[in-house]
Every structure is written in C-alpha cells, then in structure tokens.
C-alpha cells in the first residue's frame, strides 16, 4: 500500500508550476474518439486517471503515444464499441466515453460505474440525455448499451447542471444531424475548455460557460492540437498548503480566471493573494481566520473538489467555522480522519461545524478519496510531529507528484511503500 509520511510545521516557500487539469483533459481524451485522425494534447498530467483513460481508448482500438506531457491519440480506426469493465470500475469518468463513442460508432456499451466514497453518483442524467437525443438505451444487469443509426439534433434539458452529463450530451450531439440545443448546462471551466478543444477539431459549439449550449452536428475536419489548462483544484490545494504552514509561495500556470471563489475564500482566511497573468503568490497570515460559513455550489460557486482541503485548513483556524456541502452527499468522510489529528468537527447531514484551537497533531490517518487524501496531506504539513497518510493511491489519481512538489517548497514529505517500513522508521 502506498503511504505518505509528513513531518509537519515547516513553512512552505518557493515557486512551482501547476500541473495540467485532470477534469479538463479527461473529456478531451474521450472527445478524441470523435476525430478520425490524430489528436495532440499538451500539458497532460501524468496521473492515474489519465492512464486509465489511455487504457480505455487503447481497448477501443485507438493508438496512444505519450512523451512527457505530450500525448497523441490516433483514433483513425476503432475496432470495439465496448468500454472495458476493468476501467469502468477504476474510474467513474469512463461514463463520459459513451457520448463520443456512440456518435462515432453508432453503438456504445459500458457498465454502471457504481457508487464511490463521496456519494452514490448515479448516471441517470447521462442516460436520460442520450434517450432524449433519440438514442436507444438499454440497461440490464448493470450493462448500458446505447444504439443509434441516424439521429437528429433536438432540444435537451438537464434537471441539474451535472458537469459530466453536460459534457456527454455535447459530445453525443456532435453525431446528430443538425443542431442540438442543450439547456440547463453546467458552466464549469472544463466545459469551456472542452468546447475550445472541439473548435480546434473544426466542431462548432456556441454558449459554453452559459446555461445553454448549441452544438452543430458535424464531422471533425482538422487534427487538433491543444494545450490543457492548469488544474484549478491542484493549484488551490497547494495554496492551502502554503496557507496552513504560514509560508509564502508562488504558483505559475494557474488558470486564475477560473479560481475566483477559491482565491476569495483564501483571502477571507487572512491570506494575502497577488495575481499576475497566470501567476498567483500567496502570503499566509500569522494566524488563519475561521470562516463563519462556506457553501459548495456549482460553478461559479465554491468548488466541491476544494471542500475537503478547506475542511482541513479550517481545523487550523482558531475559532468556529462552518461548511455546507451541496453537491455530493457523502463528502465529509475526511472529518473522521482529521479527528485522529485532534480536530473537532461536528457533522450533521451536509453541514460541518469546525471548532479549532489552531493546532493539529500528527497521527496515522487514511485517505478515503482523492481530495480527502490531499486534505490530509495539507493537514499533516501543519500538524505537530509526524503524520502518516495511508492509502495515498487515491491521491495519485489526481495529483501528478505532490511529494516532489511539496519537497521543492521545503516540506519534509516522503513515500513509504508499506506499513512495515513505517514501523521500522518509527522504531
């Protein structure tokens, strides 16, 4: 098992660049299936979820080559319509391959991805939108099959602005004849990025970033080359890490315009933030301020993916803070782990009340999910003594190399492969 050991209370200083965005690159990789040619993506993060998506594309017959952070996907010939079950289990976002695959092949098969530790995460919106688009969807024993001969552009409407369902609907609509109007869309930056990427393929969309997106059904015309933007959640995590340690860091390659609410929340905690183009400098206050109320919301609201990291950060802000989670029902699991470090967090339904004396102590804790794991690393950086975060494979799904990055900023962090090694070190 992949554990991380941290010796806390070392202020972070220095400058590093931000990795490419996980949530932007995954739909782009799926969308590469729409193109009977070669797609080139740059600034692709080397993370587990990307490797998983590579596996899916290769099993469908695409040829994928990676050189550092550059990836080429040759989807000229595909020889399968079935998304491999192995990958469906590993990564929920495999569902977003359905739309482009059916648009390209007229048929697509996957399996129900099931729940995960942050909530039930059903795929009913995805399925409904594909049906509303005129596709035949059959669901049997967890298998989902989508079929279409020719389908026409139409009007679609989302009952909740789901990010993944919006992306799936856009990509499926590319295969329709005529225009599809999608209402009630998510406005997340990753959707804007997806549509800019599609434009490089010669596929026209209108309205990305607003609640209504129009997609003109058409064939891709150009081999796209696209640079993936910086990861707003990874950037937010690193800024929070500097904030809790009382340090001062500068991040480059930050998608500043996509991070407004996160940067505002950091300011509200007393951090001094300076931005210039794609650079963000954070100077931590001597003592963090608590937040009387922070609520997650769909974009442009405060991102649910930052919630766990802020939960950890507010455990170090003397006083009382409150967080309400409105997107995923099970996203306070990290609270119990933080309690092992001396945090006092009362969770009632989707609200957490944090009462802090400004200190955490090192302990052995377990990463329950990707962002929760990152939150525990942030907590460990500020805690007194040694923290071991177990099961950090979750963290590797989304962070390229958090250990090297934290070390570069001066932290004492190392990976310990198994618990026996840890016991020996502890002894």
Find the shortest distance in angstroms from Cβ 129 to ligand UD1. Answer: 9
Task: Tell me the number of residues near ligand UD1 by CB under 6 A.
Answer: 22
Length of the chain, in residues: 427
126 is a contact residue toward ligand UD1 (CB under 6 A): yes
365 is a contact residue toward ligand UD1 (CB under 6 A): no
Find the shortest distance in angstroms from Cβ 305 to ligand UD1. Answer: 5
Instruction: Measure Cα distances from 165 to 13, 196, 253, 300 in Å.
Output: 40, 18, 28, 18
For ligand UD1, the closer of residues 363 and 395 by Cβ is 395
How many other CB atoms are there within 10 angstroms of residue 160's CB atom?
10
165 is a contact residue toward ligand UD1 (CB under 6 A): yes
Find the shortest distance in angstroms from Cβ 168 to ligand UD1. Answer: 9
For ligand UD1, the closer of residues 238 and 299 by Cβ is 299
151 is a contact residue toward ligand UD1 (CB under 6 A): no
93 is a contact residue toward ligand UD1 (CB under 6 A): yes
310 is a contact residue toward ligand UD1 (CB under 6 A): no
Find the shortest distance in angstroms from Cβ 121 to ligand UD1. Answer: 4
Nearest CA to 146 out of 163, 131, 166 is that of 131
Binding track over 178-217 against ligand UD1, x by CB under 6 A: --------x---x---------------------------
Find the shortest distance in angstroms from Cβ 142 to ligand UD1. Answer: 15
Binding track over 48-87 against ligand UD1, x by CB under 6 A: ----------------------------------------
Find the shortest distance in angstroms from Cβ 119 to ligand UD1. Answer: 5
Yes or no: say if 47 and 405 are a contact pair by the CB < 8 Å rule: no
259 is a contact residue toward ligand UD1 (CB under 6 A): no
Nearest CA to 336 out of 295, 376, 395 is that of 376
Find the shortest distance in angstroms from Cβ 376 to ligand UD1. Answer: 18
| Nearest residue to the partner ligand UD1, using Cβ | 164
Yes or no: say if 171 and 30 are a contact pair by the CB < 8 Å rule: yes
For ligand UD1, the closer of residues 24 and 388 by Cβ is 24
Q: Which residue has the tokens 């400058």?
A: 15
Binding track over 102-121 against ligand UD1, x by CB under 6 A: -----------------xxx
Binder of ligand UD1 out of 21, 23, 180, 205 (CB under 6 A): 23
Binder of ligand UD1 out of 304, 308, 334, 356 (CB under 6 A): 304
Answer yes or no: 159 catalytic.
no
C-alpha to C-alpha distance for 85 and 275, rounded to whole angstroms: 44
Binder of ligand UD1 out of 6, 26, 34, 133 (CB under 6 A): 26
How many other CB atoms are there within 10 angstroms of residue 195's CB atom?
21
For ligand UD1, the closer of residues 210 and 292 by Cβ is 210
Find the shortest distance in angstroms from Cβ 23 to ligand UD1. Answer: 3
- Structure token digits, residue 46: 């080397």
Question: Hey, which residues between 323 and 342 contact ligand UD1 (CB under 6 A)?
Answer: 327-328
H runs (alpha helix) in 278-401: 307-314, 334-340, 370-382, 393-396
Residues in contact with 344: Cβ distance below 8 Å, sequence separation at least 6, in sequence order: 354, 355, 356
261 is a contact residue toward ligand UD1 (CB under 6 A): no
Yes or no: say if 394 and 419 are a contact pair by the CB < 8 Å rule: no
Side-chain half-sphere exposure of 316, counting CA atoms within 13 A: 33
163 is a contact residue toward ligand UD1 (CB under 6 A): yes
| Residue of 46, 116, 196, 351 marked catalytic | 116
- Structure token digits, residue 4: 């991380």
How many other CB atoms are there within 10 angstroms of residue 176's CB atom?
22
The radius of gyration of the chain's CA atoms, rounded to the nearest angstrom, is 22
**What is the spatial order of strands in the sheet that 107-111 belongs to?**
107-111, 143-147, 136-140
C-alpha to C-alpha distance for 422 and 417, rounded to whole angstroms: 8
Q: Which helix (H) or strand (E) holds 60?
A: helix 48-60
How many other CB atoms are there within 10 angstroms of residue 330's CB atom?
16
125 is a contact residue toward ligand UD1 (CB under 6 A): yes
Which stretches of the chain bind ligand UD1, using CB under 6 A? 23, 26, 93, 119-126, 160, 162-165, 186, 190, 304-305, 327-328
The catalytic residues are: 116
């Amino acid at each position: 098992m992949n554990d991380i050991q941290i010796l806390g209370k070392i202020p972070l200083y220095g400058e590093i660049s931000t990795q490419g965005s996980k949530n932007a690159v995954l739909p782009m990789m799926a969308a590469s299936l729409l193109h009977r040619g070669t797609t080139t993506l740059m600034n692709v993060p080397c993370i587990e979820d990307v490797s998983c998506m590579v596996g899916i594309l290769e099993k469908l017959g695409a040829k994928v080559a990676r050189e550092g952070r550059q990836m080429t996907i040759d989807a000229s010939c595909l020889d399968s319509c079935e998304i491999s079950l192995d990958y469906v289990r590993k990564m929920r976002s495999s569902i977003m391959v359905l739309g482009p695959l059916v648009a390209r092949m007229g048929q697509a098969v996957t399996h129900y991805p099931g729940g995960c530790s942050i909530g039930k995460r059903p795929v009913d919106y995805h399925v409904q939108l594909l049906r509303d688009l005129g596709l035949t969807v059959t669901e049997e024993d967890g298998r989902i099959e989508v079929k279409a001969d020719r389908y026409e552009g139409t009007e679609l409407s989302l009952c909740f602005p789901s990010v993944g369902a919006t992306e799936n609907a856009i990509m499926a609509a590319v295969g329709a004849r005529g225009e599809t109007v999608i209402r009630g869309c998510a406005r997340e930056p990753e959707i804007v990025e997806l549509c800019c990427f599609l434009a490089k393929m010669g596929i026209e969309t209108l309205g990305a970033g607003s609640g209504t997106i129009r997609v003109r059904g058409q064939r891709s015309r150009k081999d796209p080359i696209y640079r993936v933007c910086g990861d707003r959640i990874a950037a937010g995590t690193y800024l929070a890490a500097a904030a809790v340690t009382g340090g001062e860091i500068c991040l480059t390659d930050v998608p500043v315009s996509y991070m407004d609410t996160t940067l505002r929340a950091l300011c509200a905690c007393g951090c001094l933030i300076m931005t210039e183009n794609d650079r963000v400098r954070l100077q931590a206050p001597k003592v963090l301020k608590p937040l009387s109320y922070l609520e997650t919301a769909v974009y442009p609201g405060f991102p649910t993916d930052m919630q766990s990291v802020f939960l950890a950060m507010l455990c170090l802000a003397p006083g009382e803070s409150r967080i309400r989670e409105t997107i995923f029902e099970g996203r306070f699991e990290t609270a119990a782990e933080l309690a092992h470090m001396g945090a006092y967090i009362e969770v009632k339904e989707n609200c957490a009340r944090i009462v802090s004396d400004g200190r955490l102590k090192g302990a052995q804790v377990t990463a329950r999910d990707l962002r929760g794991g990152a939150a525990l690393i942030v907590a460990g950086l500020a805690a007194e003594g040694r923290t071991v975060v177990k099961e950090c494979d979750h963290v590797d799904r989304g962070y390229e190399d958090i250990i090297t990055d934290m070390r570069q900023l001066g932290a004492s962090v190392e990976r310990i492969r198994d618990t026996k090694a840890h016991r020996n070190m502890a002894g």
